[in-house]
Amino acid sequence: VGRTRIDPGRLVVEALAVVDRDGLDALTLSAVSGALGVGPSALYTHVEGLDGLRRLVALAATENLTNEVRTATAGATGADALLALGAAYRGFARAHPGQFASTLRRADGGDDRLAAADREVTEVFVVVYAGMGMTPDASHLAARSSRSAIHGFLVLEHTGGTSPAHDREYAHLLDTLQRGLGAR
């Protein structure tokens, strides 16, 4: 009676596991609490209901995405950096479709941490373009444009399904960005 304590870290881990294994719709308080070995109502101490759980997952997923794309661009510079970034972004969306989908939900509560985490993703793009010698303003615009393009391609691929033809189309997208942004 009241013996099983919840580890907040494990809560996130289990929630991400649910989403990656069974999809975004399977993210319920019951599923996560069950995995933790507690009752559903026990989660209310750590999370603001179902919406809070969804925000938590979206936050963790966004942070995971940032880590992936950041390490991918760590070594490369210039055009290679954008290709590496694009490959890592796509790799994340494919390997973790549930996490990626959790990102697509509107943040109703106006979660500042989630907004900040999302900015971190764009920041990786900014660093790449700044490394090419662009001004801060130009880097920001280039980052937002290329992130939007990559993100949109992957959203469409996520909802519509994968196809072999997509590889060529994705390469064309990245090439179009390079050309359009005057990035060398």
Partner DNA sequence: ACCTGAACACCGTTCAAGT
- Contact partner, 153, from a second copy, DNA, none, Cβ < 5-8 Å per class: a second copy
76 three-state secondary structure: coil
The secondary element (H helix, E strand) that includes residue 20 is helix 8-22
Under DSSP, the state recorded for 165 is T
* Residues 83 and 128 sit within 8 Å (Cβ to Cβ): no
Smallest separation, CB 142 to a second copy (Å) = 8
- Contact partner, 104, from a second copy, DNA, none, Cβ < 5-8 Å per class: a second copy
Lookup: tokens for 37? 């070995």
Lookup: tokens for 36? 């933790």
Residues that bind DNA (CB under 7 A): 1-6, 28-31, 37-42, 44-46, 49-51
* Residues 150 and 88 sit within 8 Å (Cβ to Cβ): no
Nearer to DNA, 40 or 131 (CB): 40
Residues that bind a second copy (CB under 8 A): 23, 97, 101, 103-107, 110, 115, 118, 141-142, 144-145, 147-156, 158-161, 168-169, 172-173, 175-182
Instruction: Report how far apart the first and last C-alpha atoms of the chain are (Å, whole number).
Output: 64
Smallest separation, CB 97 to DNA (Å) = 20
Nearer to DNA, 4 or 148 (CB): 4
Rg (CA), the chain: 18
Nearer to a second copy, 37 or 108 (CB): 108
Smallest separation, CB 117 to DNA (Å) = 22
